[in-house]
Amino acid sequence: MSLFSSIKSMFTPAESNSKEPEALPSEEYQGFTITPAPIREDGGYRVNGLITKGEQSHRFIRADMLPSSESCAAEMVRKAKQMIDQQGDGIF
């Protein structure tokens, strides 16, 4: 980082476009709770969310990128259901 860049960063506001995931409404499936939380990135949204059952949880993140938060959330739920069908409690 150059000296100029360092000085400039002190006087410019922080980027307001947070890349933190925003949790969307959860969905129940076979005793599991699926909570999509798409991550905003350049070019779209990354598939991300949480699968929980009781006290156990599994962070679910994939390389897939989709153009909208809604389509990303739907894809996360679809993939999570598939994972639950295949692995059941083995997810944890």
CATH of the domain at 37: 3.30.160
Residue of 80, 48, 51, 75 whose CA lies nearest to 62? 48
pLDDT (tens digit per residue) in 46-75: 999 999 999 999 998 999 999 999 999 999
Is 78 among the domain residues? yes
Q: How far is CA 27 from CA 13, 23, 35, in A?
A: 37, 12, 7
**Number of domains observed in the structure of the chain:** 1
Is 13 among the domain residues? no
Of residues 54 and 22, the one with the higher pLDDT is 54
Can you give the pTM of this predicted structure?
0.76
